[in-house]
Structure 1
Amino acid sequence: MKKQELSRKLGKRIVLLREKKGWSQAELARVCLKDRQSIERLERGTTNPTAYTLYEVASALEITLAELLKI
């Protein structure tokens, strides 16, 4: 799998999990202590997040990092 494809799949997974909680991008960003634009880039797959950023997103969504990475 290429980097761009992986990023897009991960972004779609984050959107799915965020929407499952009924949250907007702004709400997820607030819980993660990020700005909304960072969450937007993450969901579009146009950024290469650090492992810690993914951990923060998973924690905010109340799931494990392993669950987040099930793409």
Structure 2
Amino acid sequence: MSDERFPFPVRVHSPTSSLIVSTAWDAVEYLKRWPGKRGRDYRIALQHCLDALDGLRSPRTAQVSFVTAAKTAGLLL
């Protein structure tokens, strides 16, 4: 299992909190308690982050998917 850092941290927010996500592991933990809609972009982000932890995808790919999901859900600062 690999937990390489994202190329740059991502700040996400919900009505009750704000968080900086720096690794695929951080992203998976945030996705588990995702405050937004769990649509297609959410599912892709979760799979890509899990794949990054297993070394099947790059941290950059996981980050791009996570950012897309956060934008779609209105959670990106």
Whether the TM-score (by the shorter chain) exceeds 0.5 is no
Per residue, is there more helix in 1 or in 2? Answer: 1
Per residue, is there more strand in 1 or in 2? Answer: 2
Q: TM-score, normalised by structure 2?
A: 0.40
